[in-house]
């Protein structure tokens, strides 16, 4: 089939390689423009190496984007890890429409922060969905879904890179093959089961140490690596990374109970969390080193 690829980062790069390996003609690759002086997106670099034209627009809502899509005469557009809004006047242009990857089992966890919210809300099973794009937010008919486990210590980063990334690439490639063979389903989503969550930002990432340990740990895991769950230390936002829950620890919520080479231990209700890396400002640092530099001691109250 003749395809348009819309996406970015390593995920779209891997999808691009898979499409080409399966004999499809990728007639153009769309990715966001890089920041001034920034490195080219991996999908851009790979597409150019394969001789595939690359189009970069600050917004895909521009009129010229629709004209470009029309001139490409594509059978299908494949949206693989897309952060830009693709309007209907663009995604409807290819002969068979457009399909999109989403890192949850739709209709649950619609929205741009599906991975963090699954962890924050304590889910133990997740997966990926490839759906036909419609005007709603992640609401189009389902083409293919694949389930995957969410580990008890998974972070948003580890769940994506170790699990959903490879499962998702395979799902997208399998979906294209189903379409090429004329066997692709269009299963309407059950709106009675639909959930939507906002982008996970600082307004959601502040730690309440009085909450039960599982809730605190899920929040920290779900916000790792972005935006970074945080507490306060002398007025500074202290963000926590690379953590482990310690069940049954006898410690006071928000109080440092231990400082060792393995990190710092902070109490929560009915347990504690061991933290190996922290961030104040832009740079993540070793938690034990940070504690020494800031003069933290057992008994220091955070938050």
Residue 251 has a pLDDT of 82
Average pLDDT rounded to a whole number, residues 122-147: 98
pLDDT at 250 over 90: no
Residue 72 has a pLDDT of 98
Residue 234 has a pLDDT of 93
Tokens 């099973």: give the residue.
Answer: 125
pLDDT at 12 over 90: yes
CATH number attached to the domain at 202-294 = 3.10.25.10
pLDDT at 249 over 80: no
Strands 76-80 and 2-7: parallel
How does pLDDT run across 198-243, given as a tens digit for each residue?
Answer: 999 999 999 999 999 999 999 999 999 999 999 999 999 999 999 9
pTM score of the predicted model: 0.95
Residue-range domain boundaries for the chain: 2-193, 202-294
Task: Tell me what the pLDDT averaged over the chain comes to.
Answer: 97
Indicate if 202-294 has the same CATH topology as 2-193: no
> What SS3 state is found at 147?
strand
CATH class entry, domain 2-193: alpha beta
For the chain, what percent of residues have pLDDT higher than 70? 100
């Amino acid at each position: 089939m003749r395809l348009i690829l819309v996406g970015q980062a390593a995920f779209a790069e891997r999808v691009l390689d898979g499409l080409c390996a399966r004999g499809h003609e990728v007639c153009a690759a769309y990715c966001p423009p890089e920041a001034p002086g920034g490195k080219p997106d991996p999908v851009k670099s790979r597409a150019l190496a394969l001789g595939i034209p690359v189009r970069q627009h600050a917004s895909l809502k521009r009129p010229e984007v629709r004209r470009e899509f029309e001139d490409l005469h594509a059978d299908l557009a494949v949206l693989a890890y897309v952060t830009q809004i693709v309007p209907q006047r663009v995604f409807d242009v290819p002969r068979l429409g457009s399909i999109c990857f989403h890192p949850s089992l739709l209709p649950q966890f619609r929205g741009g922060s599906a991975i963090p919210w699954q962890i924050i809300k304590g889910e133990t099973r997740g997966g990926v969905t490839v759906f036909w794009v419609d005007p709603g937010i992640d609401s189009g008919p389902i083409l293919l879904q694949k389930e995957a486990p969410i580990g008890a210590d998974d972070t948003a980063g580890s769940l994506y890179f170790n699990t959903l990334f490879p499962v998702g690439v395979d799902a997208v490639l399998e979906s294209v093959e189903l379409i090429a063979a004329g066997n692709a389903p269009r299963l309407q989503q059950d709106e009675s089961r639909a959930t939507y969550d906002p982008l996970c930002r600082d307004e959601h990432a502040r730690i309440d140490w009085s909450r039960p340990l599982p809730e605190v740990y899920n929040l920290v895991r779900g916000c790792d690596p972005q935006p970074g769950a945080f507490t306060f230390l002398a007025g500074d936002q202290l963000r926590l990374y690379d953590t482990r829950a310690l069940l049954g620890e006898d410690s006071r919520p928000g109080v440092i109970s231990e400082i060792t080479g393995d990190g710092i231990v902070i109490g929560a209700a009915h347990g504690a969390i061991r933290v190996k890396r922290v961030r104040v400002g832009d740079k993540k640092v070793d938690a034990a080193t940070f504690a020494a530099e800031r003069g933290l001691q057992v008994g220091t109250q955070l938050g």
